[in-house]
A and B are shown apart, each in its own frame.
Chain A
Amino acid sequence: MPWAQTLDQIFPLAKHWLMGFVPFQLRTFVSAVLSVAPVLLVFPLLFAVTTVLERKGLGRIQNRYGPNRVGPYGFMQPIADGLKSLTKEDLVPRDADQVVHLLAPIVLVLAAFLSYAVLPIGRNMVIVNLDAGLLYFFAVGSMVELAVFMAGWSSRSKYSLLGAMRAIAQMISYEIPLVLASVVVIMMSGSLSLVSIVDKQSGYTATLPHWFVFTPWGLMGFILFMIAATAESNRSPFDLPEGESEIIAGYYIEYSGFKFALFFLGEYLGMLATSGLAITLFLGGWAAPFSFLTWVPSYMWFFSKLLLFIAVFIWIRGTLPRLRMDQLMNLAWKFMLPMTLLNIVAAGVWNLMGEGWGRWLVCAVIVFGPFLVLSGSLKKRQRLQMRTYRYAE
């Protein structure tokens, strides 16, 4: 349907039309600005919506209302939060390292924004189609750890340093399962470019899509990727570095006002970027879930999947208890690393066996058998006993 196609391509067409007015010398510069500006506008807006959704969602899970004073049902709360963080006094400790203290949130937000450059948000809607796009994403994501260290060290406070060390240890431990879980996708699609990974998942058989998540190795890869992504962005249940009830705010304890808001922004942007990457790698990117729904514009599908991810993140945050540091580390090194390696083996087997139901069975066994065995071995055996009560005397 032609109108569906125009609606789908409305942003590239608008950019093309606007570029017609630009003189020849400024062409590359204006093209870059026109590509980058929507991302810089849309994703902070999505961040604002996420904060209010999270507070209301968590409130409802915890049997209370969330914020409901500002605007209808509290949805203008981000504006109030933004005004508060802009006008709050910016306290910097006297002993703190002034320059590094200032640069830490800037580096964090920079690294978070840079990772959006390779995400395909719709058909023909990627800022730059790098040939090694996935490698670029992980490289930029690894700069976040440096920003975390800068924040923790420059505050010259024991709690912030401790929080920073824990946060960096957690992030580097979970970076390996994150990268290895996406190696399966690279193997099966044969390219590091995110646009071609999405293209590989764009077929339909009998109205069902060819997404990678619907294969055994894809499902396990998706689960492992999401666990590692939750740990990488310091979200519950992996939020020990910023555990609000334990170490108050961890590495950004000495920050107030606008810089604190920048840390918040950086963390949520990182979460959204990693969700976007998971959507691109496993859930087919901007592709529609059923073949009769392809008339909906591609960017609408991307953002609906992203909102689904946000909802699942909020749900997990409200439900699961926090993991202790040694439990975190055990999970990363003793469970997730072997599982990702087995997943790669399963994907190799999938590729070598021919089409047919045989490879589904074999790969499912390779992947889910050790999953059950390993997860069982990490639990401590508890004997259920009669419940005893202790009363205060």
Chain B
Amino acid sequence: MTISLILLAAIAIAAFAFAMFMKNAIHCVLALAVGLVGIAAVYLDLGAQFVGFAQVLVYVGAVSILAVFALMTTQRGDDQRADPGRRQITWTSLSGTAVAVGVFVIILLSVLSSGMGIRRAVDTPTVSAVEIGDALMHGYALPLEVLGLMLTASMVGAVIIAMPQKGKK
């Protein structure tokens, strides 16, 4: 069981590394989609079926398409060719890498030195969609309503912000 987890995790990490560090922006977004599917497979391996399918439906089916649309409408031809200082070691890239590596090392040390290994293994819990629906309607009803409100607000807000304004060009 752990072998499959390690394999899927490796695929996801590789895809995301490509997503963040490739030259062509569209390739980055496509690699992101692959990585998100990999993470969904990790969720399925951990027994959270509903979350895995929701991840594919929302992230791969909607967020990736959004990113792709935004890239399509904001790419101008000259931005792609004239990329001066590509792979140049600037202060930005150095400090960014240092911060990221520092964060990784800190989290890794805290994970490995804590008492995670002492937990005994449990069987994969099976969660049916009925239980999730039950929880959403009874225990988590308020967050559900707030989420609905927030999604409506963000939808309306996104349309208003991105709408071309009448009068000005």
Q: Which residues of A line the B interface, CB within 8 A? A: 97, 100, 130-132, 135-136, 138-140, 142-143, 145-146, 149-150, 153, 161, 165, 168, 172, 175, 190-192
Contacts and interface: CB of A to CB of B under 8 A. Distances in A.
Contacts of B49: 130-132
B22 to A, nearest CB: 12
Contacts of A161: 72
Interface in B39-67: 49-50, 53-54, 56-57, 60-62, 64-65
B26 A132 contact: no
A297 B27 CA distance: 49
B53 A135 contact: yes
Contact of B57 (A138, A168, A190): A138
A97 B29 CA distance: 14
B130 A191 contact: yes
Contacts of A191: 129-130
Interface of B: 26-27, 30, 33, 37, 49-50, 53-54, 56-57, 60-62, 64-65, 68-69, 72, 126, 128-130
Nearest to A154: B26
A135 B50 contact: yes
Given A100-B30, A143-B61, A150-B30, A135 B69 contact: no
Indicate the member of A100, A130, A131, A165 with the most B CB atoms within 10 Å. A131
**SS of A interface (majority):** helix
A140 B37 CA distance: 10
A136 B44 CA distance: 11
Contacts of A168: 65, 69
A131 B128 contact: yes
B62 A153 contact: no
Given A131-B49, A153-B72, A143 B130 contact: no
A149 B60 CA distance: 13
Contacts of A132: 49-50, 53, 129
Contacts of B64: 146
A97 B22 CA distance: 14
B129 A131 contact: yes
